A = this chain, B = another copy of it.
Amino acid sequence: MTDAAESVASSGRRRKSGAATIYDIAEAAGVNPSTVSRALNQPGRVSAKTEARIRAAADELHFQINPLARALPTGRTNTIALIVADITNPVVFETIRGAERAASIAGYTLVISESQESGAVEANTVERITPAVDGVILGTTRLPDKEIVRLAERKPLITLNREVKGIPHLASDPSHGAQQLVDHLDELGHRSIAFLGGPSRSWMSSRRWEALLHAARSHGIAIFEIGPHSPTLAGGAAAFERAEASGATAVVAYNDLVAIGLIQEATRRGLRVPDDLSVAGFDDIFAAELITPPLTTVRSDLRGLGSDAVRHLLRTIGVGEPVDGTADVTTELVVRGSTGTVRQN
């Protein structure tokens, strides 16, 4: 009887995968659990001697704090969520990487979730995740403004490449890279540029267009927009005829995928890039340097974007220096082989 009772009691104690708790440490060190908690978290709150004893016991038992149990009373989960539309998008995963690193350095865990390009899935995911995180980054959101505002009332939130009134957001500012690109094309002798726009309501596409427009005007170079196009290889291929017909000697696509699609189609039709047509893109995705010819493109510091987003969020939560407003991430031209001097007729 006694044995049975004892075994029940002990098995009850160590039910959870045998992980040591502060109670175990307290017992081993001969102090109260609260003292253990203080020794481990509030430097100086307990005497050096007891702290040493407690730490020794903690090591001994391979103590590892249970983040869930801690989160309950404090409300701090040390976790932030990053929601993206499509993980396989090269633009997205560099951002993920930056965010992951920044979070990791700060001792935070990053939860990544993919909304599969669907607003409904995204709403669902965010609902589910929000209560378990300290903040949310909407990487490529499909949510309506209203919804975003509502979420921001519950938890600190920041958007990337999406402007919603009253919500902090971060974006890459294409103006520097666009200016460099136009400078570059000007030097090569181009006097007329066609811009292949992205999806009609793409905020990014219009920002890039405006940056190019501004730069081109400052050079007195003609520029016009063709579009919209879907942001895919097929979109670029489909743009070919209109681009060629336009008579422009240089084509700038709103992203690399479209630029690559255009190059492939042009090559298929017997045009040589860059001899017959110069092509440039935006993003500098991994494949940009692998294709033939390698793509001249405007690179965004996506990793910086991701890490800045995390840092900003952490600051509003109270980790790191106080928040200093959001500063956009810069962009830079990467010259490769797809742009060249204008053919002399």
Contacts from A to B (Cβ < 8 Å): 15-19, 64-69, 71-72, 75, 77, 79, 87-88, 90, 93-94, 96-97, 100-101, 104, 109-114, 116, 121, 125, 127-132, 154-155, 233, 260, 264, 267, 286-287, 290-292
Contact = CB atoms under 8 A, between A and B. Distances in A.
A292 to B, nearest CB: 4
A181 B129 CA distance: 44
B64 A68 contact: no
B68 A72 contact: yes
Copies of this chain, complex-wide, total 2
B109 A110 contact: no
A128 to B, nearest CB: 7
Contact of A66 (B93, B96, B110, B131): B131
Nearest to A94: B88
Nearest to A19: B131
A286 B285 CA distance: 11
Nearest to A67: B132
Contact of A131 (B68, B96, B113): B68
B93 A109 contact: no
A172 to B, nearest CB: 17
Given A104-B125, A287-B286, A291-B290, A131 B64 contact: yes
27 contacts: A19-B154, A64-B127, A64-B130, A64-B131, A66-B132, A67-B128, A68-B131, A69-B72, A72-B72, A79-B111, A87-B93, A87-B97, A88-B93, A93-B93, A100-B114, A101-B114, A101-B116, A104-B125, A109-B111, A110-B112, A111-B111, A112-B112, A233-B290, A264-B290, A286-B286, A287-B290, A292-B292
